[in-house]
């Protein structure tokens, strides 16, 4: 059975994007965080996105700026197998991407039961909320930045049921960023 994990970075007050849509300018991403990204790309997971996160990622990682600034991560992102969940997107232009248009919770249940690579949701707050509420995640990886925004979009914005998690590992970066890894209890 495949494992489903989520990776997201958040502010200390729990926001994964600032007040403006897609604002992640507050995220600290130095050399040490870049090395972690390179390590993570080696897992070979299929990358999963909601449409909004997909559009941000597809707009950045194939760019000359991304390839120049983060060549190894850009190569990994651009060559990875990717799935975007969207009711409105008809075609994905980014390399190695397919679109799933409906019934995402049922589709994820089916995908988890099928043989193949593990699956990792990057960003994608609404997808994270739906999968978390349905008990689909095997692991939560949350990178907490030492910044407080006061407003933005909460990572678990519409969760209506309590999720009990067990801390399985931590990693502190010199920038003050802390990676927290949890499994459902």
Q: Which domains does the chain have, with CATH numbers?
A: 4-184 (3.40.430.10)
Q: Does pLDDT of 29 surpass 80?
A: no
Supply φ then ψ for residue 84, to 5 degrees.
-115, 130
Q: Which of 167, 176, 175 is nearest to 141 (CA)?
A: 167
**Average pLDDT estimate for 56-63:** 92
* Residue 157 pLDDT grade (very low, low, confident, very high; cuts 50, 70, 90): confident
- In this prediction, residue 41 has a pLDDT band, given cuts at 50, 70 and 90, of confident
Q: Are 143 and 177 in contact (CB under 8 A)?
A: yes
Total residues found in the chain within this entry:
185
Q: What is the pLDDT of residues 134-151, one digit of tens each?
A: 999 999 999 999 999 998
CA 36 centroid distance within chain = 14
* pLDDT per position as a tens digit, 70-92: 898 899 999 999 999 999 998 99
- Average pLDDT of the chain to the nearest whole number: 90
At 26 the pLDDT is 85
């Amino acid at each position: 059975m495949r494992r489903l994990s989520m990776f997201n970075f958040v502010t200390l007050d729990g926001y994964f994007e600032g007040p403006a849509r897609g604002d992640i300018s507050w995220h600290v991403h130095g050399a040490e965080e870049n090395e972690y990204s390179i390590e993570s790309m080696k897992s070979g997971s299929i990358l999963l996105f909601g449409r909004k996160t997909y559009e941000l990622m597809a707009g950045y990682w194939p760019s000359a700026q991304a390839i120049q600034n983060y060549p190894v991560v850009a190569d990994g992102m651009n060559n990875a197998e990717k799935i975007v969940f969207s009711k409105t997107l008809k075609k994905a232009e980014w390399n190695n991407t397919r679109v799933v248009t409906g019934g995402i919770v049922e589709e994820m249940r089916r995908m988890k039961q099928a043989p193949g690579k593990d699956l990792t949701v990057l960003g994608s707050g609404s997808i994270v909320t739906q999968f978390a509420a349905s008990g689909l995640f095997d692991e939560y990886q949350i990178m907490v930045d030492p910044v407080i925004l006061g407003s933005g979009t909460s990572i678990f914005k519409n969760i209506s049921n309590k999720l009990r998690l067990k801390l399985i590992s931590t990693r502190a970066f010199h920038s003050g960023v802390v990676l927290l890894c949890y499994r459902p209890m």
